[in-house]
Amino acid sequence: MFKGTYPHKIDPKGRLPVPAPFRRRLAEQGAAGVVLTVLDQCLAAYPPGEWRRLEEHLRGLPTFSRTTKALSRLLASRAVDCEMDGQGRILIPPNLRTVTKLGRDALVVGVLDRFEIWAPDAWETFVTESERLLDDVSFDVPLPLASLSAATPSPAAEPGGPRESRLPQRKPKH
């Protein structure tokens, strides 16, 4: 699993260091590199095994669906195999850096089965919009996040109290 956020620099040749925990995870999977593709405003880096699973999933979707064709074309046409060099870096092609507005600074973000490479400004915008979206989510919808609120006593035992599987109220930012 890929998790965490790591700031890194892209060198003038377009090489980006893969964070050490991510390199270890790739090595555990027997991967010497990743498959990069554009996803939203960032680059998604898939271990080869995960990329194959994604390809199989796409092949299982209705072939003549406009949505399936669009997604398959966009993901596959912009995908590139990137091997890690001896220093644990991947070379990001110029066209992918341009599309995602990656400059010298980058954030490498773990997202479970893949990691993503973001321009810091794009990431900040994404986080702000996502937090706003989550603020609007009804807390009556059960979510499997009970373990996040496990540090505080559960009000679920109180009559009429909220269930543990609901998101805790967010604290205001200061």
Number of other CB atoms surrounding residue 31 within 10 Å: 19
User: Does 95 lie in the same domain as 19?
Assistant: yes
How many angstroms from the chain centroid is the CA of residue 145? 19
Q: What is the mean pLDDT of residues 136-155?
A: 53
Its pTM stands at 0.75
Using CA atoms of 61, 66, 67, 71 in order, give the dihedral in degrees to the nearest 10. Answer: 80
Determine the structural domain holding residue 151 and report its residue range: 140-169
User: Does 146 lie in the same domain as 122?
Assistant: no
Q: Give the tens place of pLDDT for each residue, 50-80.
A: 999 999 998 899 888 899 999 899 889 999 9
User: Does 146 lie in the same domain as 125?
Assistant: no
Q: Quote the number of domains for the chain.
A: 2
CA angle 9, 32, 119 (to 5 degrees): 25
DSSP string, 21-32: HHHHHHHHTT-S
User: Does 101 lie in the same domain as 27?
Assistant: yes
Q: Give the tens place of pLDDT for each residue, 19-42.
A: 999 999 999 999 999 999 999 999
User: Does 57 lie in the same domain as 103?
Assistant: yes
